[in-house]
Each structure stands twice: as C-alpha cells, then as structure tokens.
Amino acid sequence: MSAMESPLSETPADEDTAAPQNGATEAQEAESEGNAPEFTTVAVPEIVVRWNQELAPTLRDGIVEHGSLDRAELLDELPALWATVDAALARVGPGTLVTESVRHDSYEGWQVAALPRYDLDGGIEPRDRRDGAPQPRDRRALVQALVDAVAERPCLDLRDALNMLDVFAGIFPSGLDAICRRLLGHDLRHGLAAGMAPLHDALERRAAGCVSATCYRETAVGSRKAKGDPATDNEDAAGALRGPSGTVRCAVFDGVTGDGDGSGGKASRAALEQATRRWLMDEDLPPGELVAELDAAVGRATEGSAAAVLATVRPDGTASVVSVGDAEAWLVRPLRTSQRGDEPHRPVQGTEPPYAAWKLTPAHTGYAELLRVNPDAEGEGSSLVNFLGGGPGRWTHSTIALAPGDLLLLASDGATQPERERWFGAVLAELAAKLDASGRPPAPALAAALVQRAEALGGWDNATALVCAIGEAKDV
C-alpha cells in the first residue's frame, strides 16, 4: 500500500486523514480467515490516496447541492479553471485527471484533485517535466465534468456528454458545446489557459455600439423528397422583415411531412404569414404568447404541423431566439473582430481557425425526451414531441449578445444534416473560413453553401438556411 503526496499541497499527505477503504478491509478479513486470493499471473498493488486537506465538492455537487456557482455563470469562470488545471498538470503530470478531479467551492473557488499515475510496483511513474499538455484522458475528464455540472442527470461518459451537448444546446449555457469541442480537438500544447483564450475572447465579445442585420435566404427541395409537385414539394418557409425601429425579425418554419397531402407546407406557410402580420406591427410578444399565436394560426389553416425557429435582432446588439421542434439556430463568430458583418473577414495567420460556432437551440424530439433521463437512449431522433399545430407542449427562448462580424443562422433540419459523426459546428466554422478566404460575402455564400451541402449529402430533406450578417449600424 502506498500513500501519495497530495497534488493540492506542497506537504506530504497526512495518513491520519485517510478514508477507510472497504475493499482493503474485506481483503484483510478474508486473508485472516484463510481465504486468501488465488495466485494470479499479474500482481497489482493496492493504492490508497490520502489528501492532507479537505476536498471541495465536485463541480456537479457544488452547483446542484451547494449553489457554489450558478450554471449561467459557469463559462465566465472557466478561464480561472484552466489556469488551475495547468498548474495541477505541471506539478503532477498529464493524464492524471478524472471527472471527479474538477471541484469548486463558493469561498475558495476552483480546486483540481489530480491523481498521479502509478506503476505495478506501487510507485509513482516518472514523467517528463517538459510535457505538461493535457492528454486525451484529461480532456475527456474535463468535458464530462462540465456537462455533468449543467445536466439534469449525471453524465455517464464522453459519448453521453456529446449527445447531451447537441440535444440540449440552448438549455445548457450558450457556447458550452464549442468549449467542449475545442477541449477535445484543439492543439493545447501550450496549456489550457493559452489554448482556450481565443474562444473565450469570442464568447465574451459584445457590440460597442448599435448593430444592423441583413438577412439572406436559400432554400431547395431535396431530390429524394421531390414528388413532382412544385406547389407542395418544399414544406419549408422562411422570411425576414426590418421594422421602422431598426429591429430585424426573421424565421424558418419546417413543415412536418404528413400523408402526402401538403399539410406540412400549409402549416409552415400559415405560420410565416402570421409571423409577418405580427412583424408589421413592429412590436414583440412575450415568447409564450408568440408561440401560442403561431400555433393557433397553423391550427386554423390545416391539420398539419411545423417546427419553428424565430429570431429578433435589436439595434442594441441583443437578439432573442425562440424555437419549437427541431429547427435550429447557430451563431458563427470570427475569432478576430471585423469592421462590418457584410465584408469578408481578414485571413488569420497560422493554424488558428478564424471562426467558431455554437448551437443556440435544443431539439424537441422523442430522442431528447429519452436522453433527458436515460444515457442509453436510442431512436426517436426525428419524432417531434413539440411543434406548431396541436398545441406545443414545450418551447425554448434565449437571449444572446451579438457583435459585428457575427453570422446568425436559422435553418431547417435538412440544412444541418450530420456528416459522418462530424460536429456541425465544425462544419459551419470551416465553411465560413473557406468562403471568407474566397472573397465572397460570407452570409449569402454560407446560406447557399448549406443548401448545396444538403443535396450533396443525399438530398433526403428540404433544406432552408437563413443567415443574418451582423454589422455596425451606420445610422441610428
């Protein structure tokens, strides 16, 4: 049995503070009774870790049980965590984190309980002091700890974490999916604090003055969905309107395919017509009243139904996003500031990607309901449990801060189709970078590229993309 030096202190661990180990006690009792374990070819030592100071609660327990940190404030506090993790890995070595290593106390702040790696003799494995970059094990542990802290139920593993990040975006803190993906895939050889800083700078960016929004829309019928009737084949509808106050309101509606009677298209068009009537008044309803108004309009027009995502972009740089069903909203933001949202972004030197993207809306599907309580949930991916037409049981509303250079995307699910398990946020960032480098206007080019991509992936569904380019307002 080997005692370790606590990575949380410069002094050796105090053996008197060791917690009882049930496994060790049972083994000793068994041996005293003459029931010693049978001979095995590999002998593995028992290792007991003793801490010489009290551990803070795990991040999940700190948030859920002790209220040490508000979920909405988690992203703002992460830069301090990265510095703490860097210090722990520099002292104890990479590959030493588990999910429970990430801890938080309302008085002391962050604490990282890193566990040194042991060899088969029970000693601490030597390490190269020059290597302090987090290993895949550390990255996975951090992602699981972050998702575990904000989810309704405990996070089971990395696969569960990634599934929840995708399904519950818009419920989780905005941008958490981008942070976790960067943790898993970005070059962090210079440490977490340095590697994560560009993304945090982008997440915290705000407009210095008033902004303007210009919207571009592209839509197409998926070739495998087309039935030869142009009037009913495309069940998507989208539109945008700028009011006298300078507020821009836009929406994408995705009709649910019924029995081939065109009811999905009727539902989406009825919703757009009602939204436009409301937009012409240049006033905003509370989200619940807006959803109820659109739902009633669909019910009057047809027995069909539709998913919806709507955004209101205000001159002060704030935007509200409302969604029902599986239509999606994403924010694409340059990692450097740009003068105008309708101008190509300046190329970024080096290997740093010039854009980041994160999802703003959750999925209201059967799979999402299952995943809410069961990490092994499968199927029901496209089965909507909330939609316009028949009374939506749940809708989601969020408010975000925009900045010049942003691209706000509203899309039907046909335009955000997965690509070989690749995260769609990475697809968006790559497309924006390529279009930017080509000298084309990013917003209209991105809308067109997403619709073309949907057909290239098989044309299984109608695809509609509406992209708002956010720039500095010239006249207020």
DSSP states of 255-298:
EPP-SSSSHHHHHHHHHHHHHHHHHHTT----HHHHHHHHHHHH
Tokens of 253: 């509606």
What is the tens place of the pLDDT at every residue in 119-150? 766 667 766 656 678 999 999 999 999 999 99
The CA dihedral of 357, 361, 364, 366, to the nearest 10 degrees, is 30
- The list of the chain residues with pLDDT below 70 reads 1-40, 120-123, 126-131, 259-260, 337-351, 380-382, 475-476
Tokens of 280: 């012409």
Using alpha carbons, select from 436, 437, 417 the residue that is nearest to residue 427: 417
CA distance 144 to 98: 9
The confidence score (pLDDT) of residue 7 equals: 43
CA distance 212 to 403: 10
The confidence score (pLDDT) of residue 378 equals: 83
Q: How do 355-359 and 328-334 pair as beta strands?
A: antiparallel
Question: Do residues 84 and 112 make contact, with C-beta atoms less than 8 angstroms apart?
Answer: yes
Using alpha carbons, select from 204, 205, 206 the residue that is nearest to residue 79: 204
The confidence score (pLDDT) of residue 336 equals: 74
Identity of residue 93: G
Using alpha carbons, select from 225, 181, 221 the residue that is nearest to residue 203: 181
- Give strand pairing partners of 110: 104
pTM above 0.85, yes or no: yes
- Give strand pairing partners of 308: 253, 324
Q: Tell me how far the alpha carbon of residue 72 is from its chain's centroid.
A: 14
What is the tens place of the pLDDT at every residue in 363-375? 999 999 999 999 9
The tokens 């981008």 sit on which residue? 178
- Whole-number Cα distances in Å, 85 to 93, 95, 474: 10, 12, 44
CA distance 263 to 181: 39
Q: Tell me how far the alpha carbon of residue 83 is from its chain's centroid.
A: 22
The confidence score (pLDDT) of residue 475 equals: 54
State the DSSP H helix or E strand holding residue 331, giving kind and residue range, or none if neither. strand 328-334
The confidence score (pLDDT) of residue 127 equals: 66
φ, ψ for residue 424 (rounded to 5)?
A: -65, -30
CA distance 10 to 13: 9
Positive or negative torsion for Cα 24, 30, 33, 38: negative
